[in-house]
């Protein structure tokens, strides 16, 4: 049986939204917001070459395994956990959470207020704020062991979230840079509309269409948990698997509230589709 998506009758964007909805994710819940993949790895070229496979992120691997060195460190963590921690997993942080969603959309209301309330009433330290697509990719794919974030749908259709049209005072980074609009890759020519246009073209490209099912397996499919997840370097803290934890059977109110707090702050694995 050939499905409409395989026959390219619906776009990759629409198919991902459909899967997110099936998995119980929605714009109405920051804790279970629709999750979309990073599709590009090139945020430095003057022009974007969508016919070159090296332009793209490896969709068969989670964000924690995008480089050989990073993957090795997370496997090492998984193997060492047995000795000292109760929960054996590769990642103690998640690829989608309320704070990640709000941080991406912080330049637009009502997300500005949401972000501040999640941060205890104010903006975060400027250097930790979302300010550059390139540096966020580098953090999530290579540099920061506590950052494995993926993207949200807005990266593929909403240029407004990339500009500080409301003139919020987001602070000043240690190198003196005042935070304003999000810094875009050179190929976007400083134009949020061009960034969204090219980013959407990348999502709908032949390369992504041919490899997207591998990312879907990691996020929504059989590589979500169990031995397939271990093999794919794709296991998260047990608390993130909300539907696998029967909260009704947990009698201790402190443990229950801890787990619920954990899920709300750090994210939740989608229901398996």
Angle between helices 12-22 and 206-219 (to 10 degrees): 10
For residue range 13-65, list pLDDT tens digits in order: 999 999 999 999 999 999 899 999 999 999 999 999 999 999 999 999 999 99
Q: Is the backbone of residue 243 left (phi > 0), alpha (psi -120 to 50) or beta?
A: alpha
Distance CA 140, CA 64 (A): 8
Of 182, 60, 203, 185, give the one whose Cα is nearest residue 131. Answer: 182
For residue range 219-242, list pLDDT tens digits in order: 999 999 899 999 999 999 887 886
Does 264 have pLDDT greater than 70?
Answer: no
């Amino acid at each position: 049986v050939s499905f409409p998506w395989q026959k390219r009758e619906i776009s990759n964007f629409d198919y991902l939204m459909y899967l997110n909805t099936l998995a119980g994710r929605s714009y109405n819940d920051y804790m279970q917001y629709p999750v979309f993949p990073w599709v590009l790895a090139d945020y430095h070229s003057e022009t974007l070459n969508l016919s070159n496979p090296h332009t793209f992120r490896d969709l068969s691997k989670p964000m924690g395994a995008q480089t050989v060195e990073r993957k090795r460190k997370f496997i090492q963590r998984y193997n060492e956990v047995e000795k000292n921690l109760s929960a054996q997993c590769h990642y103690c942080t998640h690829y989608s959470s309320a704070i990640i969603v709000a941080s991406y959309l912080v330049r637009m209301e009502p997300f500005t207020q949401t972000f501040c309330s999640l941060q205890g009433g104010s903006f975060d330290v400027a250097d930790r704020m979302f300010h550059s697509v390139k540096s966020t990719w580098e953090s999530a794919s290579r540099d920061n062991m506590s950052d494995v974030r993926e993207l949200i749908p807005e990266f593929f259709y909403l240029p407004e979230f990339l500009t500080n049209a409301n003139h919020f005072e987001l602070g000043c980074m240690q190198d003196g840079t005042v935070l304003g609009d999000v810094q875009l890759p050179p190929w976007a020519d400083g134009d949020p509309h061009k960034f969204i246009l090219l980013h959407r073209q990348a999502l709908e490209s032949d390369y992504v269409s041919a490899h997207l099912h591998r990312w879907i397996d990691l996020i929504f499919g059989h590589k979500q948990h169990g031995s397939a997840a271990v093999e794919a370097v794709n296991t998260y803290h047990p608390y993130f698997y909300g539907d696998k934890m029967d909260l009704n059977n947990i009698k201790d109110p402190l443990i229950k509230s801890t787990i619920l707090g954990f899920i709300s702050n750090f994210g939740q694995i989608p229901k398996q589709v």
